[in-house]
Amino acid sequence: MPGQPITNALTIDVEDYFQVSALAPYIPRELWDSRECRVERNVERILLMLDEGQTRATFFTLGWVAERYPQLVRRIVAGGHELASHGYGHQRASDLSEAEFSADIGAAKKLLEDISGEEVKGYRAPSFSIGEANLWAFDCLERAGYRYSSSIYPIRHDHYGMPDAPRFAHRVRAGLLELPVTTLRYFDRNWPASGGGYFRLLPYPLSRWLLAKVNQRDRQPAIFYFHPWEIDADQPRVTGISAKTRFRHYVNLRHTEGRIKRLLGDFRWGRMDEIFLGPAAPPLTVN
């Protein structure tokens, strides 16, 4: 109803610092197991923060992480949060064939469900890597039994983005919704308003204004995301990376946790499935 606070979706992409797509040229996949894993301790900090803020969220979790830390997956579910899929091995959908992508999302879904005992309804592609060139990925997701995807970022970016895609929830297949992360339409352009590096770079009042504007003007729930490594200022530094990658990955890590705590107090938050698949789901955008 008009005037009521909108419940926004808080999402966490559960991956470790060395699995970030931008660092892939510097950290071979075969060396992941030799790296210091920090994802478990960081997710535990997030779970404590959410518990203190009486907030429930959606955790898009890598199968690679779940396989090594099954107890962490169970703690996420026990805390009342939604468990969703981030694929198995953090490979961009745009780098995989249709068969490879199907195998990846199927393996991740089965693994997460076997560990948690819960249905996995949602999927988010690493680096928002579903776009015009691989819309067949939605067919794969529907066949695998997913009910929604949150894999499109309707902005222009050098690594991802589909700026002409609908900004809000819409149906991409008969049984599959796409729930794009949040942008604000301003001066005939979509501006990022949903977290990640932008949240670390921009002043917090501006991030808060962007989200509030979507709630007030568009009367739509926002979808915000962050990663466990973004609250970990003491993570090992990766050497030899470009200045651009170094800035994007490490900017303002020491301030992120405090900003997220402010965000929890400034807005109402909930799980993706309860917001978008429940009886009070917002109306869909018509393509």
- The tens digit of pLDDT for each residue in 184-215 reads 999 889 999 999 999 999 999 999 999 999 99
C-alpha 103/C-alpha 98 separation (Å) is: 9
When pLDDT is averaged across residues 68-81 and rounded to a whole number, the result is 98
Per-residue pLDDT at 155? 85
Cβ-count burial 205-220 (b if 16+ within 10 Å, e if not): eebbebbbbbbeebeb
Token pair, residue 156, equals 């222009």
Integer CA distances (angstroms), 113 to 10, 172, 187, in order: 21, 24, 44
Bridging pattern class, strands 189-192 and 82-85: unpaired
92-to-97, 158, 245 alpha-carbon distances in Å: 10, 14, 18
DSSP state of 216: I
Q: Which residue has the tokens 């995301």?
A: 225
pLDDT digits (tens, 9 = 90+) for 241-258: 999 999 999 999 999 999
pLDDT at residue 2, as a whole number: 54
Report the percent of the chain where pLDDT is more than 70.
97
pLDDT at residue 286 in the model: 74
Q: Give residue 71's pLDDT.
A: 98
Averaged confidence pLDDT in the chain: 95
pLDDT score of 1: 46
Residues 148-191 pLDDT 10s: 999 999 987 666 668 889 999 999 999 999 999 999 999 889 99
pLDDT digits (tens, 9 = 90+) for 135-148: 999 999 999 999 99
| Domain boundary assignment for the chain | 7-276
In the CATH scheme, what is the homologous superfamily, with its name and number, of domain 7-276? Glycoside hydrolase/deacetylase (3.20.20.370)
Neighbours of 236 (CB within 10 A): 11
Q: What pairs with residue 177 in β-bridges?
A: 148, 171
